[in-house]
Amino acid sequence: MEEKKTRSKKYYRIAFFVSTSYIWFLILAAYSMGIPQYIQLLGEIALITAFTCYFSVPIFYIGLPLVYIRFVLSCFRIYTSERMLAYYALSCFVLGLALFLPLKIYGFYEENYIFTKQVHNQRIEEKIKQAIEKNNGPIQITYVTRESMLQSNEGSGSPVYPKINIHFELLNCDKQNNGGSGFSCESSVEAYYKDKKWLVDYDSKKNTGVMNLSKDNQRAVEVEKQLALTPEEELNICNNAESKAVQYVKNEYNLDLTIVEKTFNKHTSSYKKENRPSNAIHALTINGYLKTDSQKDITVRVEYDPIAREYWSHIYEMSDGAKKEIEKQIELKKEIHDKK
């Protein structure tokens, strides 16, 4: 009798494992992906479920598993609904435990071993500090941020490796210039954990310019001096830019520009699509209209590159009336050219 009962328990255990075999497939498939892809997959599943819960939950989370369990149990000649529901509930518990418990364990390992013990033992913060100070002079580490492989960032997903970002500031730095064009007293270095070692790639995109921060600041100060304008220089640039705008509209479209309003912007970025200067430029934005028709609004922007000492004019905005007038002049210009 005892042997029969033991056999019966084994029989039901086998029936349970076979009827819930789909969860073992899901677990193995998930574990084989690696943590970053696994985190991304869980996020995508959660997002899809949230938007399609009215039919995805009844069909994929309840209906199909119950149908599969019922089919397998019937092959074992087990027909009770109570056992089917019990196996379904137990399989949900096992699946949830198997999918999320390893993440908790890894999170604990990452926090206490990788980010704490290994950072301390390998003295990564001290090594980075020494490397930066060779080129930039004394620095002070202000704070350190961590990027876990369990962390999912919008757009980029989870990091491939655990990372730390060491933020620092230059001690010999003029903070009055901090935040100016190309000038910064603060920066950060990214390190990543691979093959049981904390590594730093100073040539990576993330760490670009860190080793030459002081030199870049000196260069920024020199450029700032070149860009600095006296009132007389500013007035001269504005007058030249205004003349360039009128000349540009006349030469390109054979139209007169009536100026209504002007705005001068110092140390701004160029709107050029090709051969755009990397340094800051000065720009005069002119609002007006073509000929004497106020319905033909047009905005012309004239840029002045103080390094190359060149002007560049282009139409920034225009009304429909101005657009039609310009298209008309382009056609006339083309006809005259064809006759020649």
Q: Which neighbouring-strand residues pair with 187? A: 168
* Spatial separation of the C-alpha atoms in residues 203 and 183, rounded to whole Å: 20
Q: Which segments within 112-185 are labelled E, that is strand?
A: 139-147, 163-170
- Give the pLDDT of residue 245: 93
Q: Tell me the residue type at 275.
A: N
Give tens-digit pLDDT for 281-319.
899 999 999 888 888 899 999 999 988 889 999 998 998
Strands of the 281-290 sheet, one edge to the other = 257-268, 281-290, 297-305, 310-318
Query: Crossing angle for the helix pair 213-227 and 124-136, nearest 10 degrees?
Result: 40
Give tens-digit pLDDT for 216-242.
888 888 877 777 788 899 999 999 999
Helix, strand, coil shares of the chain, percent, nearest 5, are: 55, 20, 25
Q: Is the pLDDT of residue 71 over 50?
A: yes
Give tens-digit pLDDT for 262-276.
999 988 888 888 888
Residue with tokens 């193995």: 28
Q: Quick one: 193 exposed, middle or buried, by C-beta within 10 A (0-12, 13-18, 19+)?
A: buried
* Spatial separation of the C-alpha atoms in residues 177 and 161, rounded to whole Å: 36
37-71 burial code (b ≥16 CB/10 A, e <16): ebbeeeeeeeeeeeeeeeeeeeeeeeeebeebbbe
Confidence class of residue 181 from pLDDT cuts 50, 70 and 90? Answer: low
Q: Is the pLDDT of residue 174 over 80?
A: yes
Distance of alpha carbon 134 from the chain centroid: 31
The per-residue pLDDT of the chain, averaged, comes to 84
Provide φ and ψ at 118, rounded to 5°: -70, -35
- Give the pLDDT of residue 1: 40
Average pLDDT over every residue of 233-259:
92
**273 φψ region: left (φ > 0), alpha (ψ -120 to 50), beta (else):** alpha
The whole-model pTM stands at: 0.60
- Give the pLDDT of residue 21: 78
Structure-token pair, residue 248: 């540009």
Give tens-digit pLDDT for 88-143.
888 888 878 877 888 888 889 999 999 999 999 999 999 999 999 998 999 999 99
**157 φψ region: left (φ > 0), alpha (ψ -120 to 50), beta (else):** left
DSSP letters of 190-231?
Answer: EEEEETTEEEE-TTSSTTTTSTTHHHHHHHHHHHHHHH---H
Three-state helix/strand/coil letters over 257-271: EEEEEEEEEEEECCC
Q: Is the pLDDT of residue 202 over 80?
A: yes
Calculate the alpha carbon distances from 112 to 106, 107, 119, 179, 243 in Å: 10, 9, 10, 36, 67
Give residues with Cβ within 8 angstroms of 76, minimum separation 6.
11, 14, 15, 18, 19
E strand or H helix that includes residue 285: strand 281-290
Q: Which of 34-38, 152-156, 176-180, 324-328 has the highest mean pLDDT?
A: 324-328
